[in-house]
Amino acid sequence: MKGRSAIPELPEVETVRLELAPWLTGAVIIGAALLDARPGPKYAGLERAVGRRITAVNRRGKFLLLPLDSGDELIIHLGMTGVLSPQPTSHLRVKLELDATPSALYFRDTRRFGRFLVVPAGDYTSLPTLAALGPEPLGPDFYPAQFAKALRVKTAIKTHLLSQRPVAGVGNIYADEALWRARIHPLMPSAHLSAQSVACLCQAIKEVLRESLEAHGTTLSDYRTVNGEAGGFGSFLQVYGRAGEPCLRCGRTIERLVVAGRGTHHCPHCQQLPAQ
């Protein structure tokens, strides 16, 4: 990867979750401190976590959800550059002291898009993206007939995927990869997709995410697993970040355009808009 910046997506967050779960499940939060961060919508309610036990480490889309034995929920969103680690480093925003080993959890976030807050369990009024999340892409509720219903909007398919509403956890990288696999142009109006294309896209999203999960996520400029390792999926990317390089399917040049403000990569031959 050439120093590209991208957001941790579902496979990266799931990789972090799997690393955190054995450490944090059952741990009591002894102390919670904001470091270089101010209380506000991104950092709220941490004092309510003190003295409480973490009962699980769950994930919805790209959100980590840690239910506490008080009935509250600690919600962590890594944003673009968030890293959770037992070691103190630079750009620290939150420190949790734990009755576990290691005994501290640090939240580092260079670009400050992350979130770290405690809310009553299931009360996501301050988190509209979480409240409106579509089904988990690797769960039983994501299948072609359901997906087709969620695509009955005129919005461009890539924009709609990024909204997280038709399906949770698909961000910029995996949207590009899945659309390329399913041979769908990123600007195609969602409602114009044929039933066959919807089924292809559903399958492609599942495949791309599963493959990336097996590789522990994509190597990004800031993303690290809890153990400080980069992910391994970067070399498997087939279209994302490959503008100017040949399409791996047909050899035409991959093009880059901007959709919903995000760099978007597609093959102009394999992924065509229907003639007007």
Active-site residue flag, 206: no
The C-alpha atoms of residue 224 and residue 238 are separated, in whole angstroms, by: 22
- 16's enclosing H/E stretch is helix 10-24
C-alpha distance across the termini of the chain, in Å: 37
Element containing residue 235 per DSSP (H, E): none
Give the residue with the Cβ less far from Zn ion, 32 or 267. 267
- The structure tokens 């559903």 sit at 202
**Binding residue for Zn ion (CB under 5 A) from 91, 165, 249, 256?**
249
Catalytic annotation on 9? Answer: yes
User: From CA 147, how far away is CA 201, in angstroms rounded?
Assistant: 9
Given the residues 8, 67, 137, 186, the one annotated as active site = 8
183 binds Zn ion, rule: CB under 5 A: no
Tell me the window of 95-103, 121-129, 198-206, 247-255 that interacts with Zn ion (CB under 5 A).
247-255
Active-site pick, 42, 158, 181, 262: 262
Stretch in the footprint of Zn ion (CB under 5 A) among 72-80, 189-197, 238-246, 259-267: 259-267
Q: Which of 7, 24, 175, 270 binds Zn ion (CB under 5 A)?
A: 270
41 is catalytic: no
Query: Phi and psi (nearest 5°) for 210?
Result: -65, -45
Residue from 169, 247, 259, 265 in contact with Zn ion (CB under 5 A)? 247
Amino acid at 254: I
Is 140 tagged catalytic? no
Total site size for Zn ion, rule CB under 5 A: 6
How many Cβ atoms are within 10 Å of 68's Cβ, its own excluded? 20
Output the smallest distance, CB 202 to Zn ion, in A. Answer: 21
For residues 135-151, b (16+ Cβ closer than 10 Å) or e, as one string? Answer: bbbbeeebebebbbebb
Choose the catalytic residue: 52, 59, 60, 62. Answer: 62
Active-site residue numbers? 8-9, 62, 262
Binding site for Zn ion (CB under 5 A): 247, 249-250, 267, 269-270
